[in-house]
Amino acid sequence: MTLKVRIIPCLDVAGGRVVKGVNFVDLVDAGDPVEAAIAYDAAGADELTFLDITASSEGRDATFDMISRTAERCFMPLTVGGGVRTVADIRKLLLAGADKVSINTTAVNNPDFVAEAADKFGNQCIVVAIDAKQAVSEDGPDRWEIFTHGGRNATGIDAVEFARLVVEKGAGEILLTSMDRDGTKAGYNLPLTRAIADAVSVPVIASGGVGTLDHLVEGVKEGHASAVLAASIFHFGTHTIAEAKSHMLEAGIPVRIKI
């Protein structure tokens, strides 16, 4: 058999608590992160992603504590992102128990930071999170633009070109979020996902917009993603990980059933 497509629940956390934004605004408390992680571990999630949207340093300390408590209880891969600016930040996250670190704004401001981080910790450890939004164009081909700071700041940078650049610098994986779709339950932005997945040699995780199990299937089959990330459909109990996996298996996608 071969490598399985991963299903990744994503926990947005602030100050050590899970929250979930709709279009990155209007946060709703979705519970304690360590308890959520333990439940996802038992349910057969293939990885967990924590996105730390904390602004303060006190909140950041609560996040480190949350990661180390999770790593003590869950023997599955953890990716942590949010506020990563320096090599020291990455080391601290890895020592707390993260396996991969996701870099967003800092990679946009300084793509060479990706190279520095990959040289230090290995490409496999460095995920670049790309938040992209459809660019308004009259009748030209589809184009997507990079946003930073949790989707607030437009950069004018082309998402596909940027993805190629960071992979060249050493990113081992791309976490691709469609800003237009995030929180809408309308499905992944498939043309965007496919454009990036086909442009780079590393795995792409599709993110933003999952509302149904068919959306997960589309992300892989039409978006060419290597892994699918979702938040609210899992957090609020709409679907279980097992339901998602059997749905994907029925659609002919290899998934890890025996956990």
245 is an interface residue for another protein by CB under 8 A? no
Q: Which is nearer to another protein, 19 or 220 (CB)?
A: 220
Q: How many residues bind another protein (CB under 8 A)?
A: 40
Quote the CA–CA distance of 256 and 7 in Å, as a whole number.
9
**Region of 11-19, 24-32, 70-78, 243-251 interacting with another protein (CB under 8 A):** 70-78
Quote the CA–CA distance of 4 and 254 in Å, as a whole number.
5
- Please enumerate in sequence order all residues whose Cβ is within 8 A of that of 234, keeping only pairs 6 or more positions apart, or say none: 9, 40, 240, 241, 244
256 is an interface residue for another protein by CB under 8 A? yes
**Cβ proximity of 16 and 70 under 8 Å:** no
Cβ atoms < 10 Å from Cβ of 152: 11
Which of 226, 228, 229, 233 is close enough to bind another protein by CB under 8 A?
Answer: 226
DSSP string, 130-191: EEEEEPP-SSS---EEEEETTTTEEEEEEHHHHHHHHHHHT-SEEEEEETTTTTT-S---HH
DSSP string, 191-202: HHHHHHHHH-SS
Residue among 115, 116, 215 at smallest CA distance from 166: 115
- Which residues belong to the active site? 12, 131
Q: Which is nearer to another protein, 191 or 203 (CB)?
A: 203
Q: Judging by beta carbons within 10 Å of its beta carbon (0-12, 13-18, 19+), is residue 199 exposed, middle or buried?
A: middle
From residue 89 to residue 118, the character string flagging contacts with another protein as x (rule: CB under 8 A) and all else as - is -----xxxxxxx-----------------x
68 is an interface residue for another protein by CB under 8 A? yes
259 is an interface residue for another protein by CB under 8 A? yes
Q: How far is the CB of 104 from another protein (least distance, A)?
A: 19
From residue 146 to residue 185, the character string flagging contacts with another protein as x (rule: CB under 8 A) and all else as - is --------------------------xx------------
2 is an interface residue for another protein by CB under 8 A? yes
Q: Which is nearer to another protein, 185 or 221 (CB)?
A: 221
b/e burial code for range 35-66 (CB count within 10 A of at least 16 → b): ebbebbbebbbbbbbbbbbbeeeebbebbbeb
Which of 46, 131, 145, 218 is close enough to bind another protein by CB under 8 A?
Answer: 46
Q: How far is the CB of 101 from another protein (least distance, A)?
A: 11
Q: Which is nearer to another protein, 202 or 213 (CB)?
A: 202
Residues binding another protein (CB under 8 A): 1-6, 41, 46-47, 68, 71-72, 75-77, 94-100, 118-125, 172-173, 201-203, 226-227, 256, 258-259
